Amino acid sequence: MGKGMRWDSKPLSLHYKHNHIFVKFGVSILLLGLAFRLFSSDSIRISSVLEETHTPPLAEAEPKTESPVVSQPIQPPLTSLFPENETQTSEIVAEKCDIFMGDWIADESGPAYTNESCHVIEGHQNCMSNGRPDSGYLYWRWNPWNCKLPRFNSERFLDLMRNKSWAFIGDSISRNHVQSFLCILSQVEQAVEVYHDEEYRSKRWHFPSHNFTLSVIWTPFLIKAAIFEDLNGVSSSEIQLYLDKLDEKWTEQYKDFDYAVIAGGKWFLKTAIYHENNNITGCHYCPGKNLTELGFDHAYRKALQLVLNFITSNDHKAFVFFRTTTPDHFENGEWFSGGNCNRTMPFKEGEVDMRDTDTIMRDIELEEAEKAVEVGSGNGVILKLLDTTRLSVLRPDGHPGPYRQFQPFAKDKNAEVQNDCLHWCLPGPIDSWNDLLMELVVNGEKYR
């Protein structure tokens, strides 16, 4: 038995030896495989990191710029009510974007309407019908830096605004704006005009399928004014401006509006006599009157303070946009002295500066709006700044110019005609203002 055991022990020890070799061999293979896997995993991870390092983040894909002082962000009511809105939702960004800072980029898709598909364009802004020969100004869109701006969605807007009312309150630029608004909406439903004043300056339309009402109220100063001027802008006497009284033309209707777009403007640059507390306190540009020259900026600030206080302290909690001043692009003179605007391309960043008067007015607007937003937010009022000044400065090509009249050079190619370098062709750059409006209504909390 002992011999057998010894004899049997050799193959047994050989078996164990072979197994030990196989085990070592197997362990070696496993270790090599594990090392290879770790090396491959590290390589993949390193490769991924390198790829991420060389791919610029979305926020840096476009150049950055300093943002102007604008209103404090406040929560609009529609955002939580309509989370399913997909067509009008901007890309979510880590940092809030300034939707008013950007540039104009080429857009082959062109405008949402034409002078043939919209029938509410006033003759003075109907540039194509009046014979403007170029059309390049129609193929640009506003492109904010670091965030996306969707195109205005008429169908979606009318759905959101069912049983609501909007008002555009201000001067002829507000009327220009409301026509753009109407033209875009008319691609879904034709509005019915239900009211106009004697001079056709103030109007109201109704969209019956959505029970949506849209108004424009002509009040060029927003405050009480006695104006002695005909429809062609010819004055027979100085404007009498009451700096402590609002224009009841709009304040008496204010409670009827769910949304309002309010704007001051160029009328404050006109010669005017200023009144407060039933006394004449001074004027703007009134030589020979023996009155204190207070300047248009004095009157404009007083007027905005009165307007914004009315809005922020009102029991009626409308959603209000305050639109900033609109620049003109007269060159080689003013509207009354042969000024023109013959450019056919937008300006690029750095190619143009705002005029001094526009800078003064916009600074006042930013300062007063910022204070009013803070007060309004404490009173449950939603007030937002619609800062269209800078993006408009870049569009000298978007005005009617001589084509405010029908075929101005049909009889004489060298005819001297009055140019309009303040209002906007329809369709034209002003249509982008509506893209901004809808985005701020739906997603306003995303923007500074």
What's the alpha-carbon Rg for the chain, to the nearest Å?
33
| Confidence at residue 236, expressed as pLDDT on a 0 to 100 scale | 86
Distance of CA 262 to the CA centre of its chain: 14
Nearest Cα neighbor of 231 from 242, 216, 220 is 220
Per-residue exposure over 258-289, b if at least 16 CB sit within 10 Å of its own CB, e if not: bbbbbbbbbbbebebbbbeeeeebbbbebeee
The whole-number average pLDDT for the span 376-403 is: 96
| Confidence at residue 448, expressed as pLDDT on a 0 to 100 scale | 61
pLDDT at 265 over 90: no
Where is pLDDT greater, at 46 or 100?
A: 100
Can you give the three-state secondary structure of 11-40, one letter per residue? HHHHHHHHHHHHHHHHHHHHHHHHHHHHHH
Catalytic residue among 154, 165, 172, 392: 172
Answer yes or no: are the C-beta atoms of 427 and 364 closer than 8 Å: no
Is 423 considered catalytic here?
A: yes
pLDDT band at 95 (very low <50, low <70, confident <90, very high): low
- Residues 333-353 have pLDDT tens digits of 988 889 999 999 999 989 999
| Confidence at residue 97, expressed as pLDDT on a 0 to 100 scale | 86
Distance of CA 117 to the CA centre of its chain: 24
Extract the tokens encoding 196: 């106009």
The whole-number average pLDDT for the span 322-333 is: 96
Answer yes or no: are the C-beta atoms of 306 and 247 closer than 8 Å: no
For the chain, give the percent of residues with pLDDT over 90: 73
- Residues 14-31 have pLDDT tens digits of 333 344 434 344 434 444
The whole-number average pLDDT for the span 34-44 is: 40
- Residues 342-388 have pLDDT tens digits of 999 999 989 999 999 999 999 999 999 999 999 999 999 999 999 99
Where is pLDDT greater, at 408 or 445?
A: 408
The residues that bridge with 192 in the sheet, in sequence order, are: 206
Q: How many residues does the chain have?
A: 448
Q: What's the CA gap between 71 and 64, in Å, rounded? A: 20
Answer yes or no: are the C-beta atoms of 218 and 204 closer than 8 Å: no
Q: What's the CA gap between 300 and 272, in Å, rounded? A: 12
| Confidence at residue 127, expressed as pLDDT on a 0 to 100 scale | 98
Per-residue exposure over 357-367, b if at least 16 CB sit within 10 Å of its own CB, e if not: bbebbbebbbe
pLDDT band at 232 (very low <50, low <70, confident <90, very high): confident
Q: Which residues contact 216 (CB under 8 A, 6 or more apart)?
A: 167, 168, 169, 174, 175, 178, 202, 203, 204
What end-to-end distance do the CA atoms of the chain give, in Å? 97
Q: What's the CA gap between 396 and 344, in Å, rounded? A: 8
The whole-number average pLDDT for the span 153-160 is: 97
pLDDT band at 206 (very low <50, low <70, confident <90, very high): very high
Is the alpha carbon torsion for 219, 223, 226, 227 positive or negative?
negative
Extract the tokens encoding 200: 């056709």
Is 353 considered catalytic here?
A: no
Q: What's the CA gap between 179 and 431, in Å, rounded? A: 9
| Confidence at residue 263, expressed as pLDDT on a 0 to 100 scale | 98
Angle at 429 between CA 139 and CA 300, to 5 degrees: 165
Is 412 considered catalytic here?
A: no
Sort strands 165-170 and 259-263 into parallel, antiparallel or unpaired.
parallel
Catalytic residue among 103, 423, 432, 435: 423
| Confidence at residue 16, expressed as pLDDT on a 0 to 100 scale | 34
Give pTM, 2 decimals: 0.79
Could you tell me the CA-to-CA distances from 233 to 80, 400, 402 in Å, in that order?
46, 17, 17
Catalytic residue among 420, 431, 432, 435: 420
Backbone angles phi, psi at 305, to 5 degrees: -60, -40
Helix 356-378 / helix 296-312 crossing angle, nearest 10 deg: 20
Extract the tokens encoding 245: 């009284």
For the chain, give the percent of residues with pLDDT over 70: 79
Answer yes or no: are the C-beta atoms of 76 and 382 closer than 8 Å: yes
